Amino acid sequence: MILDLHTHSIKSDDGRAKVRNYCQWVRTRNVPIDGFVLTEHRQFDFESDYSGLARDFDLVILKGAEVETEYGHVLVYGVTEPLYETFDFGSIGLPLEEVIEHCNAHDAVAAPCHPGRPRVGMSAHLAEHGVPKGVRIVEIYNGGSRGEEDAVAAAMADELGYIGIGGSDSHIVSHIGRCATEFPEPVTTEAELVAALKSERFRAITTR
């Protein structure tokens, strides 16, 4: 089961892709993924129902969020209304360790994304803030990475003993599936995604 764990639609302030168009692109271009997770910036989209699109295109479409911390951007999987009420998803300076604690308490997973990127990646802040507690999973393959950013992310993960995931970080349709994460078992719900991530049985993949 291959899922792109990091995508943005027009719900994100800088996203230019409609979810239907993602589905069409995946199917017409034979993109090698079974589904994707919409991780909109600084929010969780409780309103949108993509079950019809998922059925029509035979794809898994899940939702998460991308929040901002003092260590950079962080993907959150398994968002529920109780979790959403514990901290301000719209804040741009959330304490990472608190985000992780809240996620753990509400059976969710927090994973720093594009950690090799300057300014908005975790590796750029280790010298100032030290190694944060509670991180277990980080994104080592990001479809929007430039230069050596993925290499920096992978080296950080190796050094600190983190497990890597992959996601395209797509903001336009044609970028979906550039990077993804492969799971040995089917993942069809957000709860199953959390369980699969917590099992630590997955691998990051890239087609770049």
* pLDDT digit string, tens, across residues 93-142: 999 999 999 999 999 999 999 999 999 999 999 999 999 999 999 999 99
Whether the model clears a pTM of 0.95, i.e. scores above it, the answer is yes
pLDDT confidence band for 208 (50 / 70 / 90): confident
Q: DSSP code of 162? A: P
Strand spans (E) along the chain: 2-7, 35-41, 60-69, 72-77, 109-112, 137-142, 163-167, 179-182, 203-206
Q: Read off the amino acid at residue 32.
A: P
Which residues, in sequence order, are CB contacts of 171 under 8 Å at separation 6+? 8, 12, 14, 15, 16, 17, 144
Whether 66 contacts 41, CB under 8 Å: yes
Q: Is 124 exposed, middle or buried (0-12, 13-18, 19+ CB in 10 A)?
A: middle
Q: What is the pLDDT averaged over residues 42-51?
A: 98
Q: What is the mean pLDDT of residues 76-91?
A: 98
Over residues 152-164, the mean pLDDT reads: 98
